[in-house]
Amino acid sequence: MASLKELRNRIASVKATQKITKAMQMVAAAKLRRAQEAAEAARPYSERMAAVMANIGKVVDPADAPVLMTGTGKSDVHLLIVATAERGLCGGFNSQIARFARDHARELIAQGKTVKIITVGKKGYDILRRDFADKIIDRIELRDVKQVGFANADAIARKVISLFNEGEFDVATLFYSQFKSVISQIPTAQQLIPAAAPEAAQDAGETAIYEYEPDAGEILSDLIPRNISVQVFSALLENAAGEMGAKMSAMDNATRNAGDMINKLSITYNRQRQAKITTELIEIIAGAEAL
Active site residues: 90
CA neighbor of 237 nearest in space, from 116, 147, 170? 147
CA neighbor of 84 nearest in space, from 245, 246, 251, 243? 243
CA distance 141 to 148: 11
CA neighbor of 55 nearest in space, from 173, 223, 193, 191? 223
Tell how strand 77-83 and strand 136-140 pair up: unpaired
Q: Residue 118 — φ and ψ, nearest 5°?
A: -120, 125
Q: Are the CB atoms for 270 and 4 separated by under 8 Å? A: no
Rounded (5°) CA angle 57-48-155: 85
Report CA-CA distances (Å) from 173 to 104, 161, 238, 257.
Answer: 10, 12, 16, 39
Strand partners, 33: none
Report CA-CA distances (Å) from 169 to 128, 165, 229, 268.
Answer: 19, 9, 18, 62
Listing DSSP states for 203-249 in one string gives SGGGG-----SS-HHHHHHHHHHHHHHHHHHHHHHHHHHHHHHHHHH
Q: Are the CB atoms for 100 and 107 separated by under 8 Å? A: no
CA distance 77 to 237: 28
